[in-house]
Structure 1
Amino acid sequence: MDATQDRREFKFLLPAEEGEDFRHFIAGQIPVDRGAENGYPVISEYYDTTDRHSYWQKIWGAGNRRRVRARVYGRPDGLIPPAAFIEIKHKLDSDGVKRRASLPLDSLRELSSGNIPAPLLEAHRSKADQRVVAELEDLIVRGGARPVVQVRYDRMAYDSGPEGTIRVTFDTKLCCRFDLKPLEPDCRNFPLPVVDREIAVVEVKTIGSVPIWLREATAKFCLQAQSMSKYCLSLERYDPAVTRTPLALAI
């Protein structure tokens, strides 16, 4: 699937065992990501303002919202080389799109201080990369967004290919940290559990209509789509800027 296209996203939270059953079903329908047959770790660093503007947009269901995150991939066995991206997640009503640009891993610290790293400003950058830079200037340089929390999890991904229209991911072992450290591929120093019990966060991304077989599977496995954000869950459990607000205390 082309991640730059507008797409619909559905999320399901399943107990670990049920998530594994559903994953085996999906594995019979869609190929696993090539080169990542055993899964891979994902480390994300989420940006927000001091008053948590992005968080509250999500909570209040703003129809048009954006969020910045840095993301690092890589496995210690070298099968998935270390790679870093800066991403803009844009949600417009029920549709979502992800715009991202690659950059050297050591450039992430410069970005986290509020500056656009030089590699993102190089003349050879594509128009898509230049759009990412423009949004970073809006959200980080002028808007004041900075890293708030870092989240780690293990992912298994199934994708219908470059010309396909569906991608399904299974994320487990969610953990986070607020003592922000330089991002490193597959770093395991994340002491805080995002949730109390082990779950699988299942994300289904589709371009166009949802396949009939997937609709039938949703009924078979009793899946119920729900709004969920690893970023928001982490803040709601640990971040004083959220947990001590009058609204959070009322809830």
Structure 2
Amino acid sequence: MFKKEATPVKNQMVFQRYEIKYQMSRRQQQAILAAMAPYVVPDEYSHSSIRNLYLDTPDFRLIRRSLERPVYKEKLRVRSYGRAGLEAPVFVELKKKYCSVVYKRRLTMPQREALDCIAGSASWPETQIGGELAYTAGFYAALRPAVFLSYERDSYRGVEDEAFRVTFDTEIRYRQEALTLNSDPWGIPILPADQVLMEVKTAGSLPLWMARTLSELGIFKTSFSKYGTAYQTILLSQQRGEQKYA
């Protein structure tokens, strides 16, 4: 069991936790929300319109590797909570997963500077996380924004254990054009309109009340990956010669 979910250092943050995903209907979501009521409260930012730029090589090396389900895998992305201009602060995140444990490094910097670092026209900050990002960018040659992925998120945290978090993501969409965080969240849906993706983020095991609720509703964990699903949809669209936006 981990003692802390995140350790902030100036504009850096390190996460170490389990992240468990569940796909469900909106009716099941309402039942879970009712069961959660005595144990959680809305997070500080209870609702967010999240935008991500997933970074990858021209041949999608990172996501192809991730979909092979290796013991160790990693993803690199730039994230904003809402629309972000070039001078606005964004989060550059290196997300690693080893033996089911998620390790996330997050660095805050202006979007223009982040994109320059990714393009190789500027140096990453001389910090621990900056060094890790520099190494990763150097290891995967020709990294660039590959997919824009957005969704609406509602977030909750535990009353007694603030490191315990539950999030619900809807309207998950992706696109391969207009790759900027300073844009509206349009694109191709990767979940049916009546489906919700719930993520439980915890330093230890599930609380008994949550495990009991999921069992009663017949909801089981899934290995659903937003970027992975987007990539598989891209491949299918290429095979069909189609690309449809909504």
1:74 aligns to what? 82
Q: Deviations over 1:216-240 (max 9, x none)?
A: 1121221110101110111111247
**Partner residue of 1:182 out of 180, 183, 200:** 180
Q: Deviations over 1:174-206 (max 9, x none)?
A: 11110143212xx42423222344321100111
Q: Say yes or no: does 1:152 pair with 2:150.
A: yes
TM-score, L = length of structure 1: 0.79
2:61 aligns to what? 53
Q: Distance in 2 between matches of 1:47 and 1:24?
A: 37
- Return the letter of the residue paired with 1:101: L
- Return the letter of the residue paired with 1:109: L
1:247 aligns to what? none
Counterpart contact for 1:116–1:136, Cα < 8 Å: no
**1:165-204 matched pairs, under 5 angstroms:** 165-184=163-182, 187-204=183-200
1:42 aligns to what? 50
Q: Determine helix, strand or coil for the equivalent of 1:47.
A: strand
**Partner residue of 2:32 out of 22, 26, 50:** 22
Counterpart contact for 2:83–2:181, Cα < 8 Å: no
**1:89-168 matched pairs, under 5 angstroms:** 89-116=95-122, 120-121=124-125, 130-144=127-141, 145-160=143-158, 164-168=162-166
For structure 1, which runs of at least 5 residues remain unmatched after alignment? 77-81, 123-129, 245-251
Q: Say yes or no: does 1:213 pair with 2:209.
A: yes
RMSD over equivalenced CA pairs, Å: 2.6
User: How many residue pairs are counted as aligned between the two chains?
Assistant: 225
Q: Distance in 2 between matches of 1:204 and 1:47?
A: 25
Against the structure 1 CA distance between its residues 178 and 17, is the aligned structure 2 distance closer, same or farther, given a 3 Å change threshold? Answer: same
For structure 2, which runs of at least 5 residues remain unmatched after alignment? 7-13, 240-246
Counterpart contact for 1:116–1:133, Cα < 8 Å: no
1:233 aligns to what? 229
TM-score, L = length of structure 2: 0.81
How far did 1:131 drift?
2.6
Q: Determine helix, strand or coil for the equivalent of 1:31.
A: strand
Q: Determine helix, strand or coil for the equivalent of 2:62.
A: helix
2:243 aligns to what? none
How far did 1:9 drift?
1.5
Q: Distance in 2 between matches of 1:15 and 1:133?
A: 40
How far did 1:100 drift?
0.3
